[in-house]
Amino acid sequence: MALLTEAIKSWIGKEVSYEAPEDLGRASIRYFTVALGDDNPLYRDDGYAKEAGYPSIIAPPTFLCESCQYTDIKKNAEGYAGHVWDLPISDCRMIRVGNDYEFFQSVLPTDRICAKWRLDNIQERSFSKGGTQLFVESIVRYCNQKGELLATNRETVVYQPLK
């Protein structure tokens, strides 16, 4: 049975945006670095960050791509509170298989983040257990309140049949 139907193909090109209701904040950066166990003074010490050429502390690069702290996305049925394309696919499991990050400038506590997702491509490929699986490719662009590009993330997820 083919997974890539016309209904699923129609999702290619869809976009969704998430805008933060407030500035990122120093506390969010601190919580993230504590969770990572990262004590880099660029993320915690204004004086150190200023000596390094930054206006204040900065966020670790992956904060934008691996944290949804700046959004107001509600948890889904699986308890995940991040972006997921709600594709009309049944009897499949979704697996995140790749991320390709590109960082353009540092993220500051005063930044108000907007994440704009675009579903770029969907391909059907053979599955080693028989049948086919879907590879879904998206790109998310992270900008600040000035519209400046902070980072991009090209993400690939796979939908594999359960049987």
Tokens 């966020």, located at residue: 59
Contacts of residue 139, defined as CB under 8 A and 6 or more positions apart, other chains included, come to 117, 118, 120, 152, 153, 154, 155
pLDDT of residue 69: 64
Residue indicated by tokens 């502390």: 57
Q: Where are the domains of the chain?
A: 6-161
Distance CA 132, CA 74 (A): 31
Based on the number of CB atoms within 10 Å of its own CB, is 83 exposed (0-12), middle (13-18) or buried (19 or more)?
middle
For residue 87 the two structure tokens come to 């594709």
Rounded to the nearest integer, the mean pLDDT of the chain is 90
Which pLDDT does position 76 carry in this prediction?
75
pLDDT at residue 106 greater than cutoff 90? yes
User: Is pLDDT at 84 greater than 90 in this prediction?
Assistant: no
Q: Which of 34-48, 53-67, 86-100 has the highest mean pLDDT?
A: 34-48
Q: Look up the pTM and report it.
A: 0.88
Average pLDDT in the 8-17 region? 95
Residue 23 half-sphere exposure toward CB, CA atoms < 13 A? 9
CATH class of the domain comprising 6-161: alpha beta
Share of the chain above pLDDT 70, in %: 96
Contact assessment for residue 109 and residue 49, using Cβ atoms and an 8 Å cutoff: no
Distance between CA atoms of residues 10 and 127, nearest Å: 23
